[in-house]
Structure 1
Amino acid sequence: MIGSPGPYDGGTPVDADEAESTALASPAAPAAGSTTLYRAGPRRVRRFHRRLLAVLALLVAAVLAGIAWLVYQGTQGPLKVPAQYASVVSSAASTCGQVTVALLAAQLDAESGWNPQADSGHAQGIAQFTPATWSEWGGDYDHSGSSSVWDPGDAIPAQAKYMCSLFKQTANVPGDATANALAAYNAGPTAVINAGGVPNFPETQAYVSRIEKQLEPRYQQGLNQSG
């Protein structure tokens, strides 16, 4: 009967299609204790993904920066004279004006990696003296009562003394004086004099280049930082 109360307790009658549309647009909240899960809207999902990607990008950048720093420290960063040899290297560097702490340190690093027991088969000790060269330049420099190529207290001062002599022996050779002296330490002064500079020996050229271009600057950086 028209005008009679509908199913809404006496309220205004509602069209069935309108009621269904309203129910779809505004779903009822889940009852207490319900386990129904509602999915986040597309915008919220996209926002979450963007934030997650940003966090991951920051983490990757931090890891890459850490790796780059470790590589730099290992190949380009400052180097320091091992504490147990600092005093003897510093003292030996006063032997002559051409020899410095950084130069001696770089040379010892290249020769033996600071290993006093290094033995190449033809050269021995931390400064890698051949038996013939040691017989001429070795001595009891640390006043221990004996002279030993295996004793850094003897070998490092002998290295400095020999280098000072090599600077003098190659003084008239054209080119970089330090490169010539280092080449003479590695290949002998006669080879340097005859070649008119660093001889064309791959081992000698690599030795000189590594000390002058890589190791010596890094030891100087370490000294400057300690400074």
Structure 2
Amino acid sequence: MQNVPKGDDTAQSVSPASTTSTAVGAAAPRRRRGPGACLLVVLPAVVTLGAVFAFVSLLGDDTAAPEDREPGQAESAVSNVDRSYVPWLRKATADCVGVTPALLAAHIDQLSGWQSDSASLSELGIARFTDAGWKKWGRDDDGNGTSTPLDRVDAIMALGRQDCDLSKRMTALRTKGAVNGDLADLTLAAYAVGVDEVAEAGKVPASARLFVTEVRKRLPQYSALVRRNPEQEAGVQAGSTRLQHPVATLSVTSPFGSRKHPLTGVTKLHTGVDFDAPEGAQVSAAWGGVVEFAGMTPAYGYRVVIDHGTIEGKRLQTTYSHLSALQVSAGQSVVTGQAVGPAGSTGLSTGPHLHFEVLLDGQYTDPMAWLTDGG
């Protein structure tokens, strides 16, 4: 067993999970004594029929019908899951940016394969909580009078609270430019090795990459499991809300997408769009909102982050970086077109320009899809 400190910076361990996902809520297989010689012929058929009837009885009306399955989706990924836990997965992540029900389910799968049994006496339940971790995050969420990590609903909700707290902390660090990367990956990394180690690395550290990869591998099957109807799942799309141009002329010098950084030489996602802007040119808020951050950062220089609230349940933010000065402050309300600061070349920059980002529920999107055709 590998000892790994968790996101609350207390040392816990992450137990390796089987590479084959186990059905949520399924019981661990029992060992059987060898049958007598006279049973060898009929026993396989009896056992098979018995297992089928027992499994159908366990799932009852929650068993997914074939028509509910995604095209090409393996049956074991949908119909072999106790769907009574799906509402709890949704509830645990309802007010959380960056952590989805599917991600929480995949996280539990990686920790335990959804099996309560553990080889460690110090890590209990499907979310493998220690006593210290449970004291911090555990509650009696299903109202049965007992708060315990062995209660699957309590464990789902507790891990959801922990992951959502880590997501908030990673969001704060990313807003300040202290870390960079996908919010879900940063959150999982913080769980695995601690917030401080992620902050020190400024990204997902090497020590957490395997853990993040293992959770990501399990994500597709749960994405189908927790999917709602198409209207609910689609939500707001890039371009459904039009933003005003943050600079007078949209002359793109570096688009959104993978690129080699001109200063570091590292190839990674360019999380926004670079617009050519002469020193001192006015940079304006693309939409009204509240300034979430305004300050100096090592990489982005003078940076402003505006929270525009939620659109169809999803949080929208825009960022403005490499400014030469700040004309707004954190907590200030701004209107569309209000000056946030003059363009500049502060931070890691090759010359005066605006690095502009649009984030939807903590995820980077292509800003060009959001901008109006006119100025």
Tell me if TM exceeds 0.5: yes
Query: TM-score if structure 1 supplies the norm length?
Result: 0.58
CA deviations over 1:161-204 (Å, ceiling 9, x no partner): 11111011122221111101011112222222222222222xx3
**Mapping for residues 1-227 of structure 1, pairs under 5 Å:** 73=74, 78-79=77-78, 81-171=81-171, 172=173, 173-201=179-207, 204-212=208-216, 214-224=217-227
Bigger relative contact order (CA 8 A; separation at least 6): 1
The alpha-carbon distance between structure 1 residues 218 and 138, as it changes in their structure 2 partners (threshold 3 A), is same
* Contact kept in structure 2, 1:117 and 1:150, CA below 8 Å: no
* Contact kept in structure 1, 2:93 and 2:164, CA below 8 Å: no
Q: How many Å separate the matches in 2 of 1:122 and 1:193?
A: 28
Structure 1 residue ranges without an equivalent (≥5): 1-71
Q: State the secondary structure of the residue aligned to 1:221.
A: helix
Q: How many Å separate the matches in 2 of 1:170 and 1:224?
A: 25
Q: How many Å separate the matches in 1 of 2:160 and 2:133?
A: 13
Structure having the larger proportion of residues in helix: 1
The alpha-carbon distance between structure 1 residues 164 and 221, as it changes in their structure 2 partners (threshold 3 A), is same
Q: How many Å separate the matches in 1 of 2:84 and 2:119?
A: 20
Structure 2 residue ranges without an equivalent (≥5): 1-72, 174-178, 231-375
Aligned AA for 2:139?
G
Shift of 1:78: 4.5
When the two chains are superposed, the root-mean-square deviation of aligned CA atoms in Å is 2.6
The alpha-carbon distance between structure 1 residues 103 and 192, as it changes in their structure 2 partners (threshold 3 A), is same
Q: Pick the structure with greater CA Rg.
A: 1
* Contact kept in structure 1, 2:99 and 2:164, CA below 8 Å: yes
Shift of 1:135: 1.5
Q: How many Å separate the matches in 1 of 2:135 and 2:186?
A: 23
Q: How many residues of Structure 1 are paired with residues of Structure 2 in the alignment?
A: 151
Identity %, equivalent residues? 35
Q: State the secondary structure of the residue aligned to 1:89.
A: helix
